[in-house]
Every structure is written in C-alpha cells, then in structure tokens.
C-alpha cells in the first residue's frame, strides 16, 4: 500500500509540474503564433490608404513600391522597376503563415517577384537568381506607422510605411511615373553635380546611378585620396528615398527631390542641400580608377551600354556574331577589363553554349602614368585560345589599339550612367567602355 501511495503521489507531482511549466507564459505556443499572425494581417489590411514600401536587394540597388492589402488576401501594387510597373497597377495575392515567425508571402507573380526572376531577359538579373531578392518576409517589428520585415534567404529589409490619401492618389495616377521621369531628366541635363558640407573643403560629387539603383557621394579628402559613400535608393511618389547609413561627415541624408527646378538633398535634421553643377566632373576619373582605388573594373553585361557610339562597338559586335555562328550557337555573357594589381590587367570574357558558361582570360602587363594606360606582353589562357576565332576582334582591340587614356563616357540614354572608358590615344572616337565597378 505504501508503495502504491508513493507511485500515485509521484504521478500527481509530475502532472502538476507539467501543468505549471505549460503556464509559464499566459498563452500556449499555438496561441502566440496565431496572435502574431493576426497582428501582421490586421496591420497590413488595416491601413486605410495602403503602404509605401522600400526593398533593398543583394544583387542590385533599392526598389520602391506602393501596396494596398485587402482582407481577401489580394493586393494592388505599383513599383519603380520600369515604366510598366510605375503606371500599371498589378493585382496579385498574398498569404501570412507561420514559418518560425509570422511571414508575409507573395504567392503569385507580381513586381516583387520580378526581382528574383531567374531569367535575365525578364529584368536583367543573374541567371538562376535574378536580383537576389525574396518573396517571403519575416515579420520583425511594428513601430507606429512602420512595419519592418526581413527576407528569409537574402536577409534584406522590406520596410512599409502607412501611406496618406495624397500619396495613394499619386502612386495610382500618372504622378508616380512623372516623378521618376522628372528626376531622370534632371540628371540627364544637369551633369557633374556637387554640393558642399561644412568641415569638408572640397566639393562633394553626387552621382545617381539609375541602372544600379544606387547613389554615391565622393570627394577628395585632405590626404589626397577619394572618399566615397554609397547607398541604395528607391523612388517614392515625390522624390527618392535613401537606405540607412547614407552619411557624409556626420550628416545623415534620407531623401532627395526636385524643388523649383533644382534637386535638393534632405538630411535627417531637415537641413536642405541644393545640388550645383560643374563644367567638368568634380573628380577626374584617374583619381577613381586604379587597382586600389574607388573603381578597378569596367564591366559590359549581356549587351553594350545603350546610347554610346564608339569604334569598339564594331569589335564587340563582331565577337557576338562569331559566337552566334557556332554550332551549337553561343552567346557572349559579359566582358570585363580589370586592374588586377599594380602591374597586371585582365580582360575577362564569359560565353555560354546554352548549358555551360566558359570563362576566358587575356592578361596584360601595364604601366599607368598621368591617366594613360599602356598594355604589353599579352598572354591567353586555354579557354581564350580555344575560342581565339570568336574573340579575335576583342583580342586585337587591346593588343594593338593602345595606349589608352582613362576618362568618363557619356551616354545619350538617360538610364545609362556611371560609365568609364579607355580611349585610344591615337583616336578618341574609339574606346572600350563599361560600368565602373569596384
């Protein structure tokens, strides 16, 4: 009997412990999960005029959206990806479910999905991963009128802020695209933009790279070196919005817009800085382009940058045509000129046969004096020599065309910016050119 009483007492004590443990929190795990999901859904559908949104990507810059969520799990969206997305409201669907936290999932194709489209021709991303963006976002927190979420795979923030009635009207009318067009036109007609900040002696160059959706501040510091700060940006209904940390000399910049025909940068404290224009770029390109400088690479993607006429175009197009004539047909994926170190430069090409991509390298010794690059002693790896017949035009351009003067390249296309070039000293109408990259 004593043994039986002991067993019963132990069982009662164990049951009581389990019950007490389950009550450490006021709610069960299931109840907390449901409450968290309800919190996010109620917030999203509860904004009377929808949301403005900013999404940063890993493979590119920042992108701006307007979203209006409905209780039926449909949403209306416009975005700053292109003319189509800025003018035609897209209707898609969403879900909120628990994936280790309350999670917003865009489960039908929309403008956010375009950023991760694996086919480069859709929006110009990398084959297989697009712009390295997400369609599933973990709910992190809500502060007042702002919701912060984070992508599951690439960990980029999706920030939503409650829109006003005026903002909703502007996003869903022609005003949104008109704002984008006005800013684009400004930077086409107003070049070599700069401003000044107390504490920095030299002019601070402001560069808006529409193709990469990034903005840059760069200036010559007191040590004679170039200081650069880069931020991703998105378009909002009446200007552009910078991501966090766009800071120069302690001044944090949050947005920019056109006011009375001038472009104004706004700091976090409300101070305005109006852009001015210089006759020539504030910083000569040789100060920026070096193996240990701000940029060390000129990059051409799947096509030549639009709006540029150069003698190099013939060499490039000849290479493309020769690859296309192969059986099976091949495509030229990209071309890069890289200052590998202080004495070695490399021309890197990639070509694809439909299933595989092959990298071919041509390596040169170089001397870089007074903005002039002189190449010598070319060597070619096995992939290059295997494709000499197809790469011969580009090969000859570098092997026999120099020396080259380093300078900026201007496109007539308003969407193409931040180009640098290697101009033949003997013929400045012929130059290799591409996007300036680190």
- Is there a cis peptide before residue 328, judged by omega within 30 degrees of 0? yes
Q: Which residues pair with 422 in a beta bridge?
A: 406, 432
Residue 7: is its pLDDT beyond 50? no
Q: Where residue 9 falls among pLDDT bands split at 50, 70, 90? A: very low
Of 67-76, 370-379, 408-417, least confident by mean pLDDT is 408-417
Is the pLDDT reported for residue 404 higher than 60?
Answer: yes
What are the tokens at 412? 């007539």
72: left (phi over 0), alpha (psi -120 to 50) or beta: alpha
- With 60 as the cut, is the pLDDT of residue 87 above it? yes
| Distances in whole angstroms, Cα of residue 393 to Cα of each of 311, 313, 382, 387 | 12, 10, 18, 11
Copy the structure tokens of residue 430. 């012929």
Band of residue 25 on the pLDDT scale cut at 50, 70, 90: low
pLDDT at position 287, please?
87
3-state secondary structure the chain: CHHHHHHHHHHHHHHHHHHHHHCCCCCCHHHHHHHHHHHHHHHHHHCCCCEEEEEECCCCCEEEEEEEECCCCEEEEEECCCHHHHHCCEEEEEEEEECCCEEEEECCCCHHHHCCCCCHHHHCCECCCECCCCCEEEEEEEECCEEEEEECCCCCEEEEEECCHHHHHHHCCCHHHHHHHHHHHHHHHCCCEEECCCCCCCCEEEEEECCCCEEEEEEECCCCCEEEEEEEEEEECCEEEECCCCEECCEEEEEEEEECCEEEEEECCCCEEECEECCCCCCCHHHHECCCCCECEEEECCCCCCCCCCCHHHHHHHHHHHHHCCCCCCEEEEEEEEECCCCEEEEEEEEECCCCEEEEEEEEEEEEECCEEEEEEEEECHHHHHCHHHHHHHHHHHHHHCCEEEEEECCCCCCCCCEEEEEECCEEEEEEEEEEEC
In the predicted model, what is the mean pLDDT of residues 221-227? 84
Residue 306 corresponds to which tokens in the numbers above?
Answer: 């639009």
Domain-wise residue ranges, the chain: 29-173, 176-283, 287-437
| Fold match between domain 29-173 and domain 176-283 | yes
Q: Is 402 exposed, middle or buried (0-12, 13-18, 19+ CB in 10 A)?
A: buried
pLDDT in tens, 229-270: 999 999 999 999 998 879 999 999 999 999 999 999 999 999
CB atoms within 10 A of CB 316: 20
How large is the average pLDDT for residues 283-300?
89
Say what angle helices 388-401 and 312-324 make with each other, to 10 degrees: 170
For the segment 180-195, the average pLDDT, to the nearest whole number, is: 91
Instruction: Say yes or no to pLDDT of 195 above 90.
Output: yes
Residue 87 neighbours by CB under 8 Å, 6+ apart: 78, 174, 176, 177
pLDDT digits (tens, 9 = 90+) for 116-164: 999 888 888 888 888 999 999 999 999 999 999 999 999 999 999 999 9
Vertex 411, ends 390 and 345: CA angle to 5°? Answer: 45
Percent of the chain with pLDDT over 70: 94
Say what the pLDDT of residue 282 is: 86
Name the class of domain 176-283: mainly beta
Per-residue model confidence (pLDDT) at position 15? 43
CB 233 within 8 A of CB 240: yes
Whether residue 172 is predicted with pLDDT greater than 90 in this model: the reply is yes
Q: What is the mean pLDDT of the chain?
A: 90
Site of tokens 């003997």: 426
Residue 346 scores a pLDDT above 90:
yes
Q: How many other β-carbons are positioned within 10 Å of the β-carbon of residue 5?
A: 9
Q: What is the CATH number assigned to the segment(s) 29-173?
A: 2.40.128
Residue 21 pLDDT:
45
Q: Cβ distance 281 to 268 under 8 Å?
A: no
pLDDT band at 318 (very low <50, low <70, confident <90, very high): very high
> Looking at the predicted structure, is the pLDDT value of residue 84 above 50?
yes
CB-based contact 115:131 (threshold 8 Å): yes
pLDDT of 6 > 90? The answer is: no
pLDDT at 2: 41
pLDDT at 187 over 50: yes
With bands split at pLDDT 50, 70 and 90, how would you rate the model's confidence at 23?
Answer: very low
**Cα(211)–Cα(107) distance, integer angstroms:** 27
């Amino acid at each position: 009997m004593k043994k039986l009483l002991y067993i019963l007492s132990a069982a009662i004590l164990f049951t009581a412990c389990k019950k007490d443990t389950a009550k450490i929190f006021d709610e069960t795990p299931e109840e907390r999960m449901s409450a968290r999901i309800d919190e996010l859904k109620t917030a999203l559908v509860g904004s009377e005029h929808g949301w403005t949104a900013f999404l940063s990507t890993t493979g590119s810059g920042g992108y701006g959206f307007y979203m209006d969520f409905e209780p039926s799990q449909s949403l209306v969206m416009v975005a700053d990806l292109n003319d189509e997305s800025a003018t035609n409201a897209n209707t898609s669907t969403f879900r909120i479910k628990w994936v280790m936290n309350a999670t917003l999932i865009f489960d039908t194709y929309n403008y956010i999905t375009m950023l991760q489209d694996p086919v480069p021709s859709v929006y110009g991303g990398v084959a297989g991963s697009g712009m390295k963006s997400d369609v599933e976002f973990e709910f992190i927190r809500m502060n007042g009128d702002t919701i912060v979420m984070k992508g599951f795979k690439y960990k980029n923030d999706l920030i939503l802020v409650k829109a006003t009635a005026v903002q909703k009207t502007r996003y869903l009318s022609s005003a949104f695209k008109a704002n984008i067009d006005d800013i684009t036109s400004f930077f086409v007609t107003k070049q070599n933009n700069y401003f000044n900040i107390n504490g920095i002696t030299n002019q601070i160059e402001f560069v808006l790279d529409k193709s990469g959706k990034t903005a840059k501040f760069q200036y010559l510091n007191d040590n004679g070196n170039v200081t650069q700060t880069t931020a991703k940006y998105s378009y909002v209904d009446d200007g552009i919005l910078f991501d966090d940390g766009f800071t120069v000399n302690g001044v944090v910049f949050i947005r920019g817009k056109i006011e009375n025909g001038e472009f104004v940068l706004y700091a976090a404290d409300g101070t305005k800085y109006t852009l001015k224009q210089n006759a020539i770029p504030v910083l000569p390109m040789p100060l920026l382009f070096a193996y240990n400088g701000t940029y060390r690479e000129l990059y051409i993607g799947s096509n030549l940058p639009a709006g540029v006429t150069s003698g190099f175009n013939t060499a490039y197009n000849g290479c493309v045509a020769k690859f296309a004539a192969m059986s099976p047909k091949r495509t030229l994926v990209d071309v890069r000129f890289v200052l590998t170190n202080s004495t070695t430069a490399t021309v890197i090409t990639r070509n694809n046969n439909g299933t595989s991509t092959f990298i071919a390298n041509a390596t040169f010794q170089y001397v870089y004096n007074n903005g002039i690059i002189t190449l010598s002693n070319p060597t070619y790896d096995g992939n290059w020599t295997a494709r000499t017949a197809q790469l011969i035009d580009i090969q000859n351009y570098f092997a026999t065309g120099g020396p080259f003067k380093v300078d900026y390249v201007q496109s007539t296309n308003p969407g193409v910016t931040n180009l640098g070039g290697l101009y033949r000293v003997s013929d400045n109408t012929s130059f290799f050119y591409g996007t300036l990259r680190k």
